[in-house]
Amino acid sequence: MRLRACGDTHVGMRRKINQDAFLIDEEIGFFIVADGMGGHAGGEIASQETVDAVHDMIVRNRAVIDDFASKPITQESSHTICRLLESSVQSATYMVYGMAEQSPAHQGMGTTVSAMLIAGAYAITAQVGDSRIYCIRDGETLQLTEDHTLVNWQIREGVITREQAEHAPYKNIITRAVGSKDYVDVDTQILSVRVNDQFLLCSDGLHGYLERDEISEIFAGDFELICSRMIDLANERGGKDNITSVAVTILED
């Protein structure tokens, strides 16, 4: 299998600074989106530094990735590859927290992270916050990641219903972020992939404006236009936040 990817980001219609960041590394098969938060450009720093730090650790552990991809999957190899992504995000967490501690103007800055590594016949994801990763397979769109938000926690605990959540005034409060503390719980998972699978990594400035069936419809069109079409649609519908989209498709080699 081989990978093809594209990505784009936009400040949106209401914000003055774009605090989103993303990275595409087709050679290794690594993709990441981060949505920063914090005043005085703190969010912009947190997201970019996190993207760079996570990618750097992935690159430095290329041998681990190649070893995983070249052998049949085992419980041990699954743990090792998930641990690599988790450790990469933890390393960025510690770094961003330390930067904020050294700069009073940036205290409290942090970022979400949605990262995906495709190695062999598997995709490994790492998640913190409310950016998302979707898989589009056979025309159906599946959300792979869980939002770490107060509203989602309340739904899971039965405090409110999904219908009530639609009108909740605190929908954007996240319960986990990279950099707000010196440690964060990172959700990781492994799933098998196949030729023609497609993936969307995006910040909440995008997924807040799109229905799942719209995602699959856009992915059915010109691949090079996927990200720009989604961003245009989000802006047309309000563009209240920064908007970032990364599209990935798996092709036959």
Beta bridge partners of 9: 244
CATH class of 2-251: alpha beta
**Residue 6, burial from CB neighbour count under 10 angstroms (0-12, 13-18, 19+):** middle
- Distance CA(203)–CA(158), nearest Å, equals 26
Q: Show the tokens assigned to 112.
A: 């979400």
pLDDT in tens, the chain (253 residues): 899 999 999 999 999 999 999 999 999 999 999 999 987 679 999 999 999 999 999 999 999 999 999 999 999 999 999 999 999 999 999 999 999 999 888 888 999 999 999 999 999 999 999 999 999 999 999 999 999 999 888 888 888 888 888 778 777 799 999 999 999 999 999 999 999 999 999 999 999 999 999 999 999 999 999 999 999 999 999 999 999 999 999 999 8
List the domain boundaries for the chain: 2-251
Whole-model pTM?
0.95
